[in-house]
Structure 1
């Protein structure tokens, strides 16, 4: 099953053979869902897909919940291992939809796809948009066979960023990577040794993902001789990075790991920070 599904394909599916998830986050996401969602969609908020730490230095701003908590969440949506899940958001999959996709794939769920272009693509394709709230189905117990796989610890990231045989990709916008601005975390910059491939380069002018062929060409150029399995992807807090992991899967280049803590964790630890002006050593980070 390919990672992305087009709106025209979704329109042709029998609604009884898949579960549709509206996964939004940030700000008034529940209100936006109630103001217009694809008919039949069940709501999931980004806050349902993360813990809420008091200290982002221990896991970042959006650390993963326990796998048991996630199993309860998806079981409450009536999802079983055999369920075909289609998920979308109103950010063209740049935020919670890709995170939800990655989390399902990480625990071994096979039948999950993200709507290419998100809510706007559904509107453009003429899918039914409603203000009605879909009733939850009968809850199930989702059987776990594994925990979250495909994650990288902060120590692995630190080692990988210094290894010429590995690549750490920072998917944030280039001004944040360069340390020119930082709207969310305590200090601007990036992990020394990480390269910058902004997530929005995965998308075309129509706010949909590039073709698999274009994505593959772009990432093979960025990887050089490094295999996808030797790549670690991160962002600010482990959400938007999933957009790039989805792009890699669509390109036929699976295997990269997610650094969940991402910049929100790294920047709060006793570790160096790189900017366009050089390296900021740990002892100088908060003197600026």
Structure 2
């Protein structure tokens, strides 16, 4: 009862209602909200602080930036989306805010497009060496069998593509990446595609910014070959998996393409089926399936592991 009353009290102010309506459309920084609302930074920050304290918003730090987004619905705050639905979307002020938000999103998308254009050649050259991502994505959906009440995490999300694939089949999804530039691309892609149940935040594969047993499904898609310590990354993925949850690791089989190390900073030239299976087992996971997709010259391997249910 107290939590609901606190939320209603926080929402009972025009500017804070505008903030909630805006954050329902995606992650926003303080400076972006200042621009849209036409108010001072201290005043906007004060409103954000009250909304966060009431459990209506989340603060997500990304380097020197801090994004704000709606708190996800859950047992403790299932009322958040219901409160947002009560905000009149045809209100003149709300409509004006949306127009300014549209300008910000277009600017974001332009910056993301420019950055990705700079690295697109690198991605194209690597992808030409192995099977298409579409084939891998179909297999992942088949073997992981996502459900409407599942929580999903993509570690090293890059452009957010895997979240786009899983979004229609899950309750909510998170993607983490260390690169602010990549997160900008992922955020723009998710917004453009209307994948509102997915979001991104900055995070390290060795220190995933979520509590233990938070997710039903976790993916590490073409990321582990960058890792200095693959075992640490898998242990961390296992930590945030719920008992019975599944981890999918997609990476290359052993190969001799030295240019991937010299030009693209790959730390490992692939992993053998046995090596990665042992790493998963050492992390408290049971390997349930291994699939290999031959390419020329790179073979992609998919490992599916389940977290042991101690009950």
Give TM-score, length-normalised by structure 2: 0.27
Which structure has greater helix proportion? 2
Which structure has greater strand proportion? 2
Task: Name the structure, 1 or 2, with higher relative contact order (CA <8 Å, separation 6+).
Answer: 1
Bigger Rg over Cα = 2
